[in-house]
Structure 1
């Protein structure tokens, strides 16, 4: 087997959003004639999705005959499945490539914002999560060090910020990590690179937000604060959740309990003046980057990761999460002409993202 990709979940016809950022990569790999097989730990039955073979855990072992796997790519490697798989003595592989996306190298209690109070978690579960995170970080350090010593592991970080967090928690000597790692941002869905924001006159509302409603790190509560500060402006929120069953919804907010395909989203964005995409924690913020690259004006949070990703973009406005002091009327009047967005396509272009990592993959396959 040439290339095996390990994921916790993967897109399917019934769930097109599961770790879609892995699927966009794999499509580029097969376009370059790289054979790709995916092992999804969540799936119970194998299937094919847009030309990618997705295997269940049981089916993989039924088909695997002990041949040498040239390269195993592990996205967000966890102890429960990824590391357990790589430690299985039946599995023979030459090289491993880790993609570090976030939670897998974090102690959540240190980095993650407090959940909304209507999300019930027991103190016992919190204790268990903390113990697991401590074990996870200790074990990962040992496993990664072992593979580095065997010259069998490379790591790709999606941002400089993500690499810094890794070093804070895994504590491998930086000089060793530098020799064995790369910083390459996630790619994005091609529609945001190939097309450009073209606002239409008949707007549905002033602002659009696309966020899961019940995850505090995505800051729907911050969108509500903005709406309350700007009662003369209108806001549409697309995403599923129960947030507004527990919180009052301002009259100038309308909620659509749905998610959208990339093509549908790109078309929908043209019906709004500006996107509001706050965050409290991100390793990159792919959708935020997609919207900015598309050329649409966007408001996001004044965090180091957001500045790293979008600090050079003229169509991005940064707000302070702590007091939400941005004046959205000023944002609407300071929107840059869409002609300036063509140069924005380069940072997250295929050449600067997936094709760079594809060069790493092909080198490891030799």
Structure 2
């Protein structure tokens, strides 16, 4: 368990360790904080890489440390990170959710240390990218407008410098080419000097492929957050309303899973239908994988996605994704090959895609197997981790 530590009296064996710097990490009392980083760390450790994690946050004024599933984690402020770096025990820094404090600490203590930075989204996006979140919430609109001239300006100014600097040896990891070109570098108004494209991992063991009976083309699943309008859950609901006017509707079975401030509002119109079930709440990964085995179609329209991880997990399980031909989605779904892509903000097009699968079971079966095969070739654990290990060891 964690406790206050004297960061000035640490002892390290050797000087070939890797330091991961992030804004949050799983703890026995907070299991889900950046769990995807922890899963990466465990994979790296299986390849005999010695790793420490430092969680930088101003709340940790007293430095602390704990071990979580054999991973040594330290927590503290920028000053404590500088002290840790001054040991010179780490040969490379891996950063998730970068901010100026993380980079300045490295620049002033270990300027020659190579840095690999994963760019996830909010740290490099202009505020207006999520304009659709503020249309019906005056308080959140005021809050983001107040931040527009402070946090967003400062962060994007920092990213502009960070992408271009020659003072540090930095490699950037983007999860899709679209995100790199149209968001990360566009909003920061700078092209990164060194970058690679590596998508997020999809656990093909958990989300394993099982051949879908043709009958499953009538069973449609959606599992989405309802905290943002970027997930376009309203389009899924409106597609169901459109299908309710068509003769095939009673033969279809829909299940909506999710939670968030918009859940009740968006799913309300579905409650009148006997063939539509609505489940409010978040699901652990193993329960999601079990659900995948009971359905054939995954409904996941979007307004903004840098990858669409839940969509990719469903594809790995063999569900046919119905998503939107926008942002990064076409990098992961090829229309009529590994999924069906619909026009932006067009629930009728979504309804047409569902109806097409209904009348063409051979199309459903063909796309189902291709979806799993194609996404595992792009995002399976060994594929992604091997690319990251090459980067770390390079």
Change (3 A) 1:36 1:212: same
- Over aligned residues, Cα RMSD in angstroms? 3.1
1:84 deviation in Å? 5.5
Q: 1:310 aligns with which of 319, 325, 333?
A: 333
Aligned to 1:208: 221
Change (3 A) 1:359 1:244: closer
Change (3 A) 1:133 1:286: same
1-structure distance, mates of 2:371, 2:163: 41
Matches within 5 A, 1:116-265: 117=135, 119-131=137-149, 132-146=151-165, 149-164=166-181, 165-172=183-190, 174=191, 177=193, 180-192=194-206, 195-199=208-212, 206-231=219-244, 232=249, 233-247=252-266, 248-251=268-271, 252=273, 253-265=276-288
For the 8 Å contact 2:156–2:187, the answer to whether it is kept is: yes
Q: Scaled by the length of structure 1, what TM-score is found?
A: 0.84
Matches within 5 A, 1:75-90: 75-79=96-100, 82-83=102-103, 85-86=105-106, 89=108
Q: Does 1:335 align with 2:356?
A: no
Q: Does 1:275 align with 2:289?
A: no
2-structure distance, mates of 1:198, 1:305: 27
For the 8 Å contact 2:203–2:381, the answer to whether it is kept is: no
1-structure distance, mates of 2:35, 2:238: 30
Aligned to 1:99: 118
Change (3 A) 1:341 1:301: closer
Once the two structures are superposed, residues 182-220 of structure 1 have per-residue CA deviations (whole angstroms, 9 ceiling, x without a partner) of 111121224256x213447997x8211111112111112
Q: Scaled by the length of structure 2, what TM-score is found?
A: 0.78
1-structure distance, mates of 2:338, 2:51: 37
Change (3 A) 1:199 1:18: farther
Aligned to 2:21: 6
1:14 deviation in Å? 5.2
> How many residues in Structure 1 have an aligned counterpart in Structure 2?
352
Aligned to 1:35: 50
For the 8 Å contact 2:22–2:95, the answer to whether it is kept is: yes
Q: Which has the larger radius of gyration?
A: 2
For the 8 Å contact 1:184–1:352, the answer to whether it is kept is: no
Stretches of structure 2 lacking an aligned partner (at least 5 in a row): 1-14
For the 8 Å contact 2:221–2:256, the answer to whether it is kept is: yes
2-structure distance, mates of 1:220, 1:264: 21
2-structure distance, mates of 1:138, 1:319: 36
1:145 deviation in Å? 2.9
